[in-house]
Structure 1
């Protein structure tokens, strides 16, 4: 796989920041805050957010939330196409090339840890030969994270998630490919198929689908955490853990003071030291 990066000719490693963590831990906010502070651009590493459509279900960052920070690999793939890990690696390298040429810092953020591991560890790419990596791990204690995940699903429902899924529903839907793999689409399938059922039955099916979505998201959280711990313990990645538990333990979308003290301050210190270490 060709790198195509002009800076490689200087034999100087390119610095890349990774932001990892389970869903709902604040990865998106941290990536944007660091990009604004250090002059970076963000590369999405969520394998479902690469697809167009289902923006609420996939929890894509909005234009307003981006605060003008350029995002790459976000909502650019046809909803019914397959986007493989090899496709991901190819597009990440191209995005890094563009970001470096813009004189900015690449920040790779998202929850698809298998894709990130393949990018970093694939011997055909030799990523670590060309890039100096800083790994930030957003972590939240499970009881607090479980509550936050369930709350976020409710927020997605309030934002119009059900109507969004309904607009893409087709009777022959394939939930094994494309954007329909996203948690939220298959769970509501029975609800949208129950056109002839009475209102009470449909209400029950909708409630069951939303609850199943919460349960499946919690299962995803466990898999994501296990994967990160494997990268730390087996791969020996030097992960800088940021404990964001205080940010979310009082409910709501987050405590700003706790965010600044527990997440932003330590992450800025880590990234500053990383960027200054030549």
Structure 2
């Protein structure tokens, strides 16, 4: 591995969403400890989307903490963010390890610390995001560096399991439409060891029986085997989501810093444009306010009101819709 922190998406030269001149004690801000943000949650809950939203608003860069996505290859089946989804935000530790290599929690901790220091050195905000909670726990509690150097803020994006299971099922169908079968076929070898590296991804072993029958079985049999394989992917992905939720619940009390649980269930019950509006109102908006408080020690609305109007005050839009402050209390829970 030639680089510990490889950029997968182009870096954007974006400005913070809010820039208050005169309304904040800037000296106190710059003498505080460095800040690091964590975004956790079960698979499919929108961790990547929230991490990118916050990175755009607060000049951040994302450090991937998914133990499968750290490997090269299988972008569809591992659900890696696309360049378009990155929205110009730099991503680290995404697709940096060889497909068949072992990348342990110790490896992640070492690489993530280097990425964090690199991000901070450039005056940007590190945002750690991914579903491998053992990686995040190794980073936070595996040594003294994080606790002694940084103030940490955690966002836990949570979705009701029945609702999430329905979403995950539909997402697997979309992945099949986007070429999941062809992607797995490209790495399939009869009798190969699927217990290492990228081949541990859900979807590889599940497709094995179907792929091994392609040259011998009739059309009806192949269709049945494919249907069974896709169903197994759905079942195993939902089981993964349950395990991840249990892991977050058991680890949340041990993670340094504030844990903010965001209930995003309502977002996943919407469709079309209403989904984006609900995301802004229930997830991105409250998290933006909470993160501003964490970074600057002040409510953004209070900072705006206390600023001398003769100064150049840039607020832009907090999110794409107006957010009453009561939304934060209604949608977030301290754990």
Per the shorter chain, which TM-score range? Answer: over 0.9
CA RMSD of aligned residues (A): 1.8
Is the Cα contact below 8 Å between 1:232 and 1:238 reproduced in 2?
no
Is the Cα contact below 8 Å between 1:148 and 1:251 reproduced in 2?
no
Give, in angstroms, the shift of residue 238 of structure 1: 3.0
Q: Structure 1: which 4+ aligned runs deviate by more than 6 Å?
A: none
Is the Cα contact below 8 Å between 1:17 and 1:108 reproduced in 2?
yes
Answer yes or no: is 1:259 the counterpart of 2:301.
no
SS across alignment from 1:210: helix
Q: What TM-score does the superposition give when structure 1 sets the normalisation length?
A: 0.92
Answer yes or no: is 1:225 the counterpart of 2:238.
no
Answer yes or no: is 1:148 the counterpart of 2:167.
yes
Unaligned runs of at least 5 residues, structure 2: 1-29, 299-335
Name the count of aligned residue pairs.
268
Aligned residue number for residue 54 of structure 2: 34
Cα shift readout 1:173-212 (whole Å, capped 9, x = no counterpart) = 2111010000011100111111211111111111111100
Unaligned runs of at least 5 residues, structure 1: 1-9
- Rounded Cα–Cα distance in structure 2 between residues aligned with 1:23 and 1:174: 25
Change (3 A) 1:77 1:17: same
Query: Aligned runs of 1:192-231 on 2, under 5 Å?
Result: 192-194=211-213, 195-231=215-251
Q: What TM-score does the superposition give when structure 2 sets the normalisation length?
A: 0.77
Q: 2:68 aligns with which of 45, 48, 56?
A: 48
Query: Aligned runs of 1:4-83 on 2, under 5 Å?
Result: 13-83=33-103
SS across alignment from 1:134: strand
Answer yes or no: is 1:182 the counterpart of 2:201.
yes
Change (3 A) 1:17 1:239: same
- Rounded Cα–Cα distance in structure 1 between residues aligned with 2:211 and 2:267: 36
Give, in angstroms, the shift of residue 97 of structure 1: 1.5
Give, in angstroms, the shift of residue 19 of structure 1: 0.2
- Rounded Cα–Cα distance in structure 1 between residues aligned with 2:174 and 2:257: 34
Is the Cα contact below 8 Å between 2:155 and 2:262 reproduced in 1?
yes
Is the Cα contact below 8 Å between 2:152 and 2:256 reproduced in 1?
no
SS across alignment from 2:131: coil
- Rounded Cα–Cα distance in structure 2 between residues aligned with 1:45 and 1:254: 30
Is the Cα contact below 8 Å between 2:153 and 2:257 reproduced in 1?
no
- Rounded Cα–Cα distance in structure 2 between residues aligned with 1:253 and 1:54: 30
Higher helix share: 1
